[in-house]
Chains A and B, each alone.
Chain A
């Protein structure tokens, strides 16, 4: 039944709906209160356009002053004369360029991070990591005092 609304809405808003069509339209609205509410809001938003209509006083001002074509052609000439790189200064282009650069940086950064971290799925790399000597070697021997001193030195160094 939405079709009935679509078909008659514009005529209704213009106040041109009459006779049988109007009766059908009103019956439909009576049966569909949700649609009636939506129609009321549509009427409200339609009324807002009045702010763009001109009164008589404004009507006389709504025309360009003589010589308009000449001024247009001057502007065309100016725009033609602009160097090609001026297009890069357009704000929308700058925004796009900045976004593309950031995306590119993010991609490059993540690539570098991935490329530099060791591949732990490779068995050779895993073996190398496991067999690597620890950073601090504790040399232990038969002398307990020396062992204790050696241990203390390593602990201090690791702090």
Chain B
């Protein structure tokens, strides 16, 4: 009896997955993607115009700098253009775009960390002291530092989960997407999404224990 129920559940899960996969492949957006894969630049323009705000928004949330967000977003879309032939319709385009976007943000943060270290080592001792002593600068700096520290800490613990889990968590927590919406865009069934999110959260807890708590 239990085995029969399990089989039914698996069938239902597979059915749901196949249904949503087929549904995405047949969607109008999938048609645009296929045109883009064939080299149609107008199709690419449609993709950019549809997703640019979402992509820019997620980058801006992470880097908090408009100019840098603009550069990263441009880079994300040029990457999409150059690699769209590899898109296999296993998930929706936005899930794939999200993965590229989050990876580019990580790349930026890594480079920014190196740049900051180089910049600080280039400052003279007097410059560093005057920067630290200005009261106005200090208050502002503390506020920004705490926020940046929190963001860096979050990105650090997020780096301990898989790419897929990271994208799911960001979509769920930042964009406020529901489990059902995530199931639709990823082509997975709702139970799978719940399990993946549960495991991702467990990994975050483990990573937080490893890195220690961030200051409040």
Contacts and interface: CB of A to CB of B under 8 A. Distances in A.
Nearest to B205: A41
Interface string B29-56: 0000000000001000100110011001
Contact of B208 (A41, A54, A76): A41
Main secondary structure of the interface of B (DSSP, over half): helix
Interface string B149-162: 01101100100000
16 contacts: A6-B194, A41-B205, A42-B205, A45-B201, A49-B169, A49-B170, A51-B151, A52-B61, A52-B62, A52-B151, A52-B173, A52-B174, A68-B70, A69-B48, A72-B77, A75-B77
B167 interface: no
Interface of A: 5-7, 9-10, 38, 41-42, 44-46, 48-49, 51-54, 58, 61-65, 68-69, 71-73, 75-76, 79-80
B48 A45 contact: no
Nearest to B199: A6
Main secondary structure of the interface of A (DSSP, over half): helix
Given A48-B154, A79-B82, A63 B56 contact: yes
Closest 10 CB pairs of A and B: A49-B173, A75-B78, A72-B77, A62-B60, A41-B205, A45-B204, A62-B57, A52-B61, A6-B198, A51-B150
